[in-house]
Amino acid sequence: SEIDLMMRIGFHERLVNMLACVTVNEPILLICEYCENGDLLEFMRQRRAFMIDRPDENDESEIITGKKQLMFATQIAYGLEYFSSKGFIHRDIAARNIMVDSQESCKIGDFGLARSIGEDNETYQAQGGKLPLKWMSPEAIYNYSFSTATDVWSFGILLYEIVTLGGTPYAGWPAVELLTRLKRGERMDRPDNCSDNLYDVMLKCWSEKPSERPTSTELRKELGNILEDINQDYYLKLNAQAQYYILESNTYKSC
């Protein structure tokens, strides 16, 4: 159960932690940390709307800067590093499952699809069902095989969401063509406001061979280095007509 899993994971500042649970009587209750700013996807989309509607306003509480985007990514990488070090895979790393607390810091949440694979980093073989197709790696889509490397692939999609302030991954790609195009080596283009070095991180996460993807520790270090190299924060220039701002209604699809 999710309660048992969260007890085994333990506490980390970059996870939504369990505070208490009730299991002796129905209903079973799970009490977790409250993150007053909700999920990261909606948090970014609300601020994106403000930034597009009022491009000349620089209210720090209503905008997201380039440096803040990197802070989000680095915080999540810390959480993923801890999560994988405990022998778990999340299987649903995405902006909708990242929570934002009162300090606008990010925490990984929603462990409903998480599984234990042990400290030897084995793979988990799923049996199909409704899964987040556009956040999944080719091996996860093709044969339902999940590992820490599939979480890293999903993290690359999450980076794309962060850079686009909640944009839709693979906008314009028909779902039926997704796996074929990925197997051909096609990847999403570099979005607006994305530096070359950050896009390189995305591409590494999307390496076809799982063994060639960075570990969560390597991601945390590389993103931390990029963050440290920013001498001056910068504001984002948003194109309201960008194709990745077209919303998709159905995230989870049957595999």
Q: Locate 69 and state its tokens.
A: 């985007």
* Residue-wise pLDDT tens digits, 186-219: 999 999 999 999 999 999 999 999 999 999 999 9
Predicted TM-score (pTM) above 0.85? yes
pLDDT at residue 10 in the model: 93
Q: Of 27, 189, 227, 16, whose CA–CA distance to 114 is shortest? A: 16
Q: Cis (ω within 30 of 0) for the bond into 214?
A: no
Q: Of 70, 94, 234, whose CA–CA distance to 168 is shortest? A: 94
Could you write out the three-class secondary structure of 152-188?
HHHHHHHHHHHHCCCCCCCCCCCHHHHHHHHHCCCCC
Q: Is 143 left (phi over 0), alpha (psi -120 to 50) or beta?
A: alpha
CA dist., res. 90 & res. 208, Å (int): 20
Q: Give bridge partners of residue 31 from the DSSP assignment.
A: 20
Which residues lie closer than 8 Å to 216 by C-beta, 6 or more apart? Answer: 77, 80, 81, 83, 84, 148, 151, 152, 155
* Residue-wise pLDDT tens digits, 11-28: 999 999 999 988 888 898
pLDDT category at 221 given cuts 50, 70, 90 is: very high
CA dist., res. 215 & res. 205, Å (int): 9
Mean pLDDT, rounded, of the chain: 91
The share of the chain scoring above pLDDT 70, in percent, equals: 94
Place of tokens 């803040």: 68
pLDDT at residue 235 in the model: 85
CA dist., res. 8 & res. 135, Å (int): 25
* All domains in the chain, ordered by first residue: 35-230+239-254 (1.10.510.10)
Q: Of 69, 16, 80, 41, whose CA–CA distance to 213 is shortest? A: 80
CA dist., res. 179 & res. 109, Å (int): 27
* Residue-wise pLDDT tens digits, 79-90: 999 999 999 999
Question: With 80 as the cut, is the pLDDT of residue 63 above it?
Answer: yes
Catalytic positions are 92
pLDDT at residue 251 in the model: 62
Report yes or no: 237 and 48 within 8 Å, Cβ to Cβ: no
* Residue-wise pLDDT tens digits, 103-130: 999 999 999 899 998 766 677 877 666 7
Give the residue with greater pLDDT, 255 vs 133: 133
Exposed / middle / buried, residue 155 (Cβ in 10 Å: 0-12, 13-18, 19+): buried
Find the mean pLDDT for residues 141-154.
Answer: 94
pLDDT at residue 62 in the model: 87
